[in-house]
Amino acid sequence: MRVCRSPTGLSFSRYLYSDSIGKRLAPLILSRTMLDILESALNVPKLYYGVLAGIGFCSYYLFEVVKKPLLVCAPGPFLNFLEEHVPILRSKFWPTLWCFESRAQTIFASVLRSRLLPRVQYRREILTLSDGGEVALDWAEESCSSESPIIIILPGLTGASQAEYIKCLVGAAKDIGVRCVTFNNRGLGGVKLKTPRTYCAANCEDLSEVVEHVRKLHPTVPIGATGISMGGLILGNYLAQLGPLAKKKLNAALAISVPWNVFEGTKSIEKPYLNLMLNKHLTENLCRTVERYHQNSTFFDLDMENVLKSKTVREFDTNFTVKHFGYKDVEDYYSNATLHNKLHLIEVPLLCLSAADDPFQPLEAIPINEVNKSSNVAIIVTSRGGHIGFLEGVWPAKKEQYMGKIFSQYFTAIFTSSIVQPDTSECKLKNN
């Protein structure tokens, strides 16, 4: 395997993500009584101990937090391509100094982006699907031409085109002259549910119709796709199910913060207390979404009162998703949605960005061994970053963010290099 050990010889997991911050900083945190004793015995001002604690914190940050991301991929053309054309992989990732804990990265990234990134002006297209359902395709085409490449973006579990992480990626695409079209799942993005069917992580039929539609509209333009969180699961399952046929539709794909192993991811977000709080918040969003569906229709022949009592994602999936999509039980659904054991079926170049401390996917569940056997899938693993966080720098509100840099560097290289199919290699990008 190309990178499963650190340069210092530490194990993969130890190199990426050492023990919790509290355990590592505990020796640096002295009680007031201890400081009084030391000051009295040594006649040293308390300020010196504050300086010592500051030095200890900075040392911890520099040696345990700041690390070069690991690129995991089987040897071959795709690995060589990434090492040559994605320069950010050669630099260390500097998580925000005051916000590098996993849950802090997850929460602050959402809050800061939602408050600081402006709304995107889209051109909306309503696509009617084969069963009569409708989805909204939101196009961001500013400063682009009819020959500019296109990237289809799949939001997370309850996200839509104005989600803060979508706005981050759309801004990055605009800077390199690439068009984006955000695929809002059924019933999201302000579009009413037209049929009894919603969406789930294992079902990629709607995505297949969207990709086919975009390809028919633009038969000679390079097209990529990006999935975030659950959107990455849908995208990955689409690529695995279609195998070589997907290469006729898409030039390349990117997945960010994918919950690779749904079983392990669900266990992780059920751990008290902070992870469980994130779990309950996500479940509340899911319940509000289906409650809105139910109020506007009589589609669901389910015990909606029981559904709306769900307190965790697992309970919601048991009460709603499993029954709605006809699975035997929640284990059957999670097995169908899980992606880590399907990577050998993917033939479209797929780059993935994962954080070793993602609360929605433990480090041990990132499919390092499986990726090592696939010549078309690569994973960038950062030591920190949380779930769709990846905040960096002293003030992480700047326009150009880490996952946006990965996004723009990767697709710029894909759309301008020989790794794409010859008949769609022509495109117009801005000069960087």
Active-site positions?
Answer: 229, 358, 387
| Residue 161 token pair | 């085109």
Q: Which residue has the tokens 């020989």?
A: 418
Question: Burial level of 422, CB count in 10 A (0-12/13-18/19+)?
Answer: exposed
- CA dist 243 and 430 (Å) reads 32
Can you list the pairs that 274-277 forms with residues at least 24 positions away whose Cβ atoms lie under 8 Å? 274/103, 274/359, 275/103, 275/359, 276/312
Residue 212 near residue 249, CB atoms below 8 Å: yes
Q: Are 325 and 333 in contact (CB under 8 A)?
A: yes
- Which two tokens mark 400? 């150009």
- Where helices occur in 296-401 by DSSP H, the ranges are 304-307, 313-316, 322-324, 330-337, 368-372
Contact 334, 321 (CB under 8 A): no
Q: Is the peptide bond before 122 cis (omega within 30 degrees of 0)?
A: no
Describe the strand order of the beta sheet including 123-128 as a list of residue ranges.
Answer: 70-72, 377-382, 350-355, 252-256, 223-228, 150-154, 179-184, 134-140, 123-128
CA angle, corner 328, sides to 343 and 255, nearest 5?
25
Nearest CA-CA partner of 362 in 264, 430, 231: 264
Q: Identify whether the C-beta of residue 381 lies closer than 8 Å to the C-beta of residue 355.
A: yes
Is residue 193 within 8 A of residue 299, CB to CB? The reply is yes
